[in-house]
């Protein structure tokens, strides 16, 4: 069975391989889709009514937030600490300024108030009370983790099936085996040619996420895309695409973004330290595989 | 050399577990998930906007004076949106911008068309399902496509990892559905 819906400004496609009844399978797929709906409602920075944007109205006072927001934010802050702010969920305002400010369904344009300089250190999470405290007005962007987290939650719903793939616009988790009882073959998009792969990988019970600069660009400024280094406020151009294979989609999602931002020199050792696999592509189409693919 | 993956794997699995232990997936009703509309629930006149051949949208406002684009869909549909009987009229209905219900919209670019079903409740979009996809994409573009497009194309590669796919066609399709959902009176 295969179904596709739209969440988080992308097409989420779920396909399954199973002997279970249509009704049972459909129910599981619907619950998997719900994970995307809920995470979007919790984490979106494109809607004033999302839990995240609501919580960000409160400055200097702790507010309780749901695990749907707390968990991906916690993960993002840990990644921010690890990378000393190269990965930083407070880039929301910068993203808005770069033109990534429009809700894909409603067309609503966000114009948030934000202090000049903010970093992840202005966000304080308390795991005991599950509260969020903002030291300054800022816009939280969970773009690099929320979709991955939704994929992981969706995978949890489908884990009893013989096989499944949850593909959220190119970030995906492949569970079990395909119709032929083999690992899933996943093509990696060629950055310049729509109808070609640049590589293929075989995975099972793993996620693969790709961060690439070739799809989401600023329409006015040629060198600005949706991946931005918060320190330089620029979009790096050393890679054109970074794919990461990891046990969880949230990990693959964040780490593909980080590898992209780290650039060619540092990303290889970073990936090796994580014991994961990466396939990076330079603008000249040189392919670099790392982590024992 | 100490590998760092353990900590992050634990963080991820803890995060998933935390959501479940909070009961989010057992208590929620599925009321908003009513998606049993027939696929060809298409209004007689697809209120097409103006499209240019390169696939970009020529006007994004909601005037409907552009050329009518025919997509070859059987016009057996009824104009009324199906949900009116399910939704009792209440006071908030008066000022609402959209009718409640599920509406089908289409978007196209130079490679074909796609169709979405947009479900609206109380002026909120609660669901967008891809109901058909007639894009003449090659295999690697088959990301998120229903079965019939897939068939058994030459290899097993039916999934592609790539930078987040974005499509003007799908925005157009959603907008088309919204146009049909719009309350005309008042």
Taking only the tens place, the pLDDT of each residue in A96-145 is 887 888 887 777 888 887 777 899 999 999 999 999 999 999 999 998 89
Strand ranges inside A122-223, DSSP E: 123-126, 131-134, 163-168, 171-176, 184-189, 197-203, 206-212
What sign has the CA pseudo-torsion A290, A199, A83, A254? negative
Backbone torsions φ then ψ of A146, nearest 5 degrees: -65, -40
What is the predicted ipTM? 0.90
Residue A55 Cα distances to A38, A42, A51, A66, A220, angstroms: 16, 10, 6, 10, 32
- Residue A70's pLDDT is what? 96
- Residue B34's pLDDT is what? 34
**Would you tell me how many other CB atoms lie within 10 Å of the CB of residue A151?**
28
Cβ of residue B61 closer than 8 Å to a chain A Cβ: no
In A177-216, the residues whose Cβ lies within 8 Å of chain B are 178, 180, 182, 184-191, 194-197, 200, 208-216
Query: Phi-psi bin for A272: left (phi > 0), alpha (psi -120 to 50), beta?
Result: alpha
Look at residue A23 and tell me whether its pLDDT is greater than 90. Answer: yes
Mean pLDDT throughout A163-184?
94
Residue pLDDT, tens place only, A197-254: 888 899 999 999 999 887 766 666 667 777 888 888 787 888 899 999 999 999 999 9
Cβ of residue A41 closer than 8 Å to a chain B Cβ: no
Q: What is the mean pLDDT of chain A?
A: 90
Q: Quick one: which H or E segment has residue A25?
A: helix A22-43
- Residue A134's pLDDT is what? 95
Give bridge partners of residue B111 from the DSSP assignment: none
Identify which has the larger pLDDT, A196 or B76: A196
- Residue A221's pLDDT is what? 67
Residue A11 Cα distances to A228, B39, B143, B144, angstroms: 23, 18, 8, 6
- Integer Cα distance of B163 and A190 in angstroms: 10
**Chain B, nearest residue to A49 by Cα:** B124
Q: Is there a contact between B140 and A66 if contact means CB atoms under 8 Å apart?
A: no
* Tens-digit pLDDT string for chain B (186 aa): 456 788 999 999 999 999 988 776 544 433 333 333 222 222 222 233 333 333 333 333 333 333 333 333 333 333 333 333 333 444 444 568 888 999 988 887 655 677 888 888 888 888 888 877 654 444 344 443 333 333 333 345 668 888 765 566 777 888 888 888 888 754
Cβ of residue B71 closer than 8 Å to a chain A Cβ: no
**What is the pTM for the complete model shown?**
0.78
- Residue A58's pLDDT is what? 92
In A112-141, the residues whose Cβ lies within 8 Å of chain B are none
Q: Which residues contact A134 (CB under 8 A, 6 or more apart)?
A: A56, A58, A59, A60, A122, A123, A124
Burial A27-53 (b: 16+ CB within 10 A, else e): ebbbbbbbbbbbbbbbbbbbbeebbbb
Q: Is there a contact between B165 and A6 if contact means CB atoms under 8 Å apart?
A: no
Give bridge partners of residue A16 from the DSSP assignment: A164
Sheet architecture: strand order including B159-161? A197-203, A184-189, B159-161
Look at residue A68 and tell me whether its pLDDT is greater than 90. Answer: yes
């Amino acid at each position: 069975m295969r179904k596709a819906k739209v969440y988080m400004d992308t097409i989420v496609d779920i396909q399954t391989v199973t002997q279970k009844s249509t009704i049972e399978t459909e129910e599981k797929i619907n619950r998997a889709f719900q994970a995307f709906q809920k995470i979007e409602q919790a984490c979106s920075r494109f809607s004033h009514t999302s839990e995240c944007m609501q919580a960000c109205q409160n400055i200097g006072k702790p507010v309780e937030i749901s695990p749907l927001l707390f968990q991906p934010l916690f993960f993002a802050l840990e990644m921010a600490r690890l990378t000393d702010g190269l990965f930083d969920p407070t880039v929301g305002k910068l993203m808005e300024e770069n033109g990534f400010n429009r809700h894909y369904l409603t067309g609503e344009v966000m114009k948030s108030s934000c202090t000049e300089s903010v970093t992840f250190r202005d966000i304080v999470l308390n795991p005991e009370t599950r509260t969020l405290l903002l030291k300054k007005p800022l816009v939280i962007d969970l773009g690099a983790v929320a979709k991955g987290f939704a994929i992981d939650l969706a995978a949890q719903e489908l884990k009893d099936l013989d096989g499944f793939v949850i593909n959220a616009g190119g970030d995906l988790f492949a569970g079990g085996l395909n119709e032929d009882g083999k690992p899933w073959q996943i093509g990696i998009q060629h950055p310049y040619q729509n109808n070609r792969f640049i590589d293929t990988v075989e995975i099972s019970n793993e996620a693969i996420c790709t961060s690439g600069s070739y799809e989401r660009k600023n329409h006015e400024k040629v060198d600005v895309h949706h991946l931005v280094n918060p320190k330089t406020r620029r979009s790096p151009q050393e890679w054109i695409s970074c794919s990461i294979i990891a046990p969880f989609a949230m990990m693959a999602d964040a780490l593909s973004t980080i590898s992209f931002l780290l650039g060619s020199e540092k990303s290889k050792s970073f990936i090796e330290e994580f014991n994961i696999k990466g396939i990076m592509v330079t603008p000249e189409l040189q392919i670099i595989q790392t982590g024992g693919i | 050399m100490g590998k760092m993956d353990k900590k992050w794997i634990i963080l991820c699995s803890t995060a998933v577990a935390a959501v479940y232990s909070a009961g989010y997936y057992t208590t929620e009703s599925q009321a908003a998930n009513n998606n049993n509309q027939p696929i060809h629930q298409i209004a007689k006149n697809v209120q097409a906007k103006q499209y240019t051949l390169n696939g970009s949208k020529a006007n994004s406002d909601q005037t409907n004076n552009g050329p009518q684009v025919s997509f070859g869909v059987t016009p057996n549909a009824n104009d009324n949106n199906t949900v009116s009987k399910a939704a009792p009229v209440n006071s908030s209905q008066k000022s609402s911008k959209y009718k409640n219900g599920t509406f089908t919209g289409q978007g196209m670019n130079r490679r074909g068309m796609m169709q979405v079903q947009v479900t609206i409740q109380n002026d909120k979009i609660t669901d967008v399902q891809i109901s058909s996809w007639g894009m003449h994409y090659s295999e690697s573009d088959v990301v998120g496509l229903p079965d019939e497009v897939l068939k058994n194309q030459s290899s097993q590669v039916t999934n592609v990892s790539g930078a987040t796919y974005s499509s003007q066609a799908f925005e157009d399709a959603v907008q088309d559905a919204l146009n049909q959902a719009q309350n005309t009176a008042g």
